[in-house]
Homo-oligomer: A and B are copies of this chain.
Amino acid sequence: MPPLAVPVVTGSVPQDLPCVPGAPRLTQARCEWLREISILDEYGERRSIHIPCERPLTIFVDKRELVTLMTLGVMPELLVLGYLRNQHFIQRADEVESISVDWDVGAAAVRTRAGISDIETRTSRRVVTTGCGQGTVFGDAMAQVETLRLPEPSVARLRQGTLHRMLETMRQQDSVHRKAGSVHGCALFREGELLMFIEDVGRHNAIDTITGWMTMHGVSGEDKALYTTGRLTSEMVMKAATIGVPIVVSRNGVTAMGFDLAQRLGMALFGRAANRHFLCYTGAERFDSEPESKPAPVRVVSSG
């Protein structure tokens, strides 16, 4: 694997990591993702805040309209590449010749080298997923689970101290979420080191963008851990498994289908993870527990 880039925060793409041979040409379309508005608060005061600016991006594959995503548009080409991979339309970057994003018309034109087989059939069935209750996956993505193999617990593990470093790193991020809220973030770590962090209006877009980055640069998932602010639903677990990442950490909780799928795949899932707290839902065999001592009680005293 090539040496990895310095940590990437929202909006910057790693420049010094080489692309895989035959990787697609990408435009580097840019747009604004924050807007300032005036609000009225509970004290009757007017003040300015920032809100996230989502916009529609319609993906055309070989001139055929596939889907419209709503996105902040931070790294739209990588989002599209990762979306295609996570929906199992492509396996590798060299199947795509170019991805051209044009914000004036809100379109991403994907040109493949040899077409996508069976695209008609595979887009005919809609499954609305747990994410917002009504996300979309195409076709029988679940059937792909049987073919996924994650590395053994003996080689792909997480220490409690490393988990703490990850959570502390996330706490320090200067994020859109912190400034404007209403977005989800996703980050890729190796041994507690942040490789990439991206935010979007949906947690799916964030993990798809990370998937696109990994696909573009040939980064494998086996020695990585994913952090997400979003819930661990079945399709989040599935996407992590698709890119080969065996350890997933969320600030949020888990659903039963996400839990079941992670168990079946032998993945480690951590939720409610913030500051020094977490729950290990499943995959404790990948976890080196270094138990905290219980904290001293804290009293809150009002000086008013």
A48 → chain B, closest Cβ, in Å?
11
Instruction: Flag if A280 contacts B41 (CB, 8 Å).
Output: yes
Instruction: Flag if A69 contacts B133 (CB, 8 Å).
Output: yes
Size bracket of the A interface: 35 or more
Which segment of A4-12, A17-25, A151-159, A254-262 sits at the interface?
A254-262
A155 → chain B, closest Cβ, in Å?
21
Instruction: Flag if A129 contacts B256 (CB, 8 Å).
Output: no
Q: Type the 1/0 row for A121-141, where 1 means its CB is closer than 8 Å to any CB of B.
A: 000011111111111100000
**A68 contacts the other chain (Cβ, under 8 Å)?**
yes
Instruction: Flag if A40 contacts B287 (CB, 8 Å).
Output: yes
**A278 contacts the other chain (Cβ, under 8 Å)?**
yes
**A119 contacts the other chain (Cβ, under 8 Å)?**
no
Which segment of A89-97, A108-116, A200-208, A211-219 sits at the interface?
A200-208
Known: A51-B255, A68-B128, A127-B56. A133 touches B42 (CB 8 A): no
Chain B residues with CB below 8 A from A302, complex form: 296, 298-299
Which residue of the partner chain, among B54, B132, B160, contacts A204 with CB atoms under 8 Å?
A: B132
Q: Type the 1/0 row for A38-60, where 1 means its CB is closer than 8 Å to any CB of B.
A: 01111111000101111110000
Chain B residues with CB below 8 A from A246, complex form: none
Instruction: Flag if B128 contacts A52 (CB, 8 Å).
Output: no
Instruction: Flag if B132 contacts A278 (CB, 8 Å).
Output: no
Instruction: Flag if B296 contacts A70 (CB, 8 Å).
Output: no
Known: A256-B54, A303-B298, A304-B298. A126 touches B126 (CB 8 A): yes
Which residue of the partner chain, among B40, B65, B68, contacts A279 with CB atoms under 8 Å?
A: B40
Binding site for B on A (CB under 8 A): 35, 37, 39-45, 49, 51-56, 65, 67-71, 125-136, 160, 180-182, 184, 200-206, 230-234, 252-257, 259, 271-272, 276-282, 284, 287, 289, 291-304
Residue pairs across A and B with Cβ atoms less than 8 A apart, 28 shown, are A35-B256, A37-B259, A40-B280, A40-B287, A41-B278, A42-B276, A43-B294, A51-B255, A51-B256, A53-B256, A54-B130, A56-B127, A65-B125, A68-B128, A70-B129, A70-B257, A126-B136, A128-B135, A129-B132, A132-B135, A133-B135, A133-B201, A181-B252, A181-B253, A182-B252, A298-B300, A298-B302, A301-B301
